[in-house]
Amino acid sequence: NDEEFSYAKGTSNGPENWWHLNPKWKVCQYGKLQSPIDLRDRWVKVLPQLGELQKVYKPAPAVLKNMGHYITVRWNGDAGQLRINGNYYKLIQFHWHTPSEHTLNGLKFDLELHAVHQNSRGETAVIGIWYKIGSPDPFLSKLLNNIKSIRDKDIDLGVINPGDIYFRSRKYYRYVGSLTNPPCTEGVVWSFVKEVKTVSMEQLSALKGAVHHGFEENARPTQALKGRQVWLYNPNY
């Protein structure tokens, strides 16, 4: 229930108090693999063996949903998959956070996309992408009118191609973390693209204005690394 928790710091149901709100959410406070984190280049290790991100996306029917704290595009049917260490993770949905949750060398960006995938065992893998204000994002351009008009009812989007979210960079960070909202489940495999894409002010305002809580920030503060290693795939090494 999205009413249970909020992103407002210093409130009884804000991020620092999520673990109080539900016995199943204690990991939000006591977990050792929490997300988001600050991705600092001086801490990462380059790992060529990671190889390029192996994702194959394809057009499939999708709906736009208002989840209260964020807007999501959810695919029905086969929209493709991500392969990590021989495991196949099916693409489930895209959603957005404003401002960014992950930071790069301490720097926040205007928007963060999460492409959420799950394998047959229910394990989650997420691709993260940063955005800053600039020219419009082509993927969001196709959804803009629907994002502006969404209320409580789902909007049928017809066939949507997740491959329209493309990135030029082949570099990405890899670490093991968690969901960034309750229940903060750990063991999520994160792949964060080392590139900052652009989004227009109009697109950003539409995403922020559409959520039930109206223009709220929906970004969890960064969490402690607690000894975790962050890897970087860089094809130039």
* Contacting residues for 86 by C-beta, under 8 A, at least 6 apart: none
Distances (CA, A) of 182 to 90, 94, 230: 22, 17, 23
pLDDT tier at 216 (50, 70, 90 boundaries)?
confident
Architecture of domain 53-233: Roll (3.10)
pLDDT tens for 75-124 read 999 999 999 999 999 999 999 999 999 999 999 999 999 999 999 999 99
**pLDDT recorded at residue 100:** 98
**Res 166: pLDDT:** 84
Please determine, for residue 237, whether its predicted confidence score (pLDDT) is greater than 90.
no
Q: Where are the alpha helices (DSSP H) in 156-223?
A: 201-210
pLDDT tier, 150 (very low <50, low <70, confident <90, very high otherwise): very high
Task: Give the pLDDT of residue 1.
Answer: 54
Pairing of strands 186-199, 124-133: parallel
pLDDT digits (tens, 9 = 90+) for 46-86: 999 999 999 999 999 999 999 988 999 999 999 999 999 99
Q: Give the integer Cα–Cα distance in Å for 146 and 137.
A: 15
| Per-domain residue ranges of the chain | 53-233
Catalytic residues: 69
Q: Where are the beta strands (DSSP E) in the chain?
A: 38-39, 45-46, 54-57, 60-66, 71-75, 80-84, 87-97, 103-104, 111-118, 124-133, 155-160, 172-178, 186-199, 231-233
Q: Is the pLDDT of residue 2 over 70?
A: no
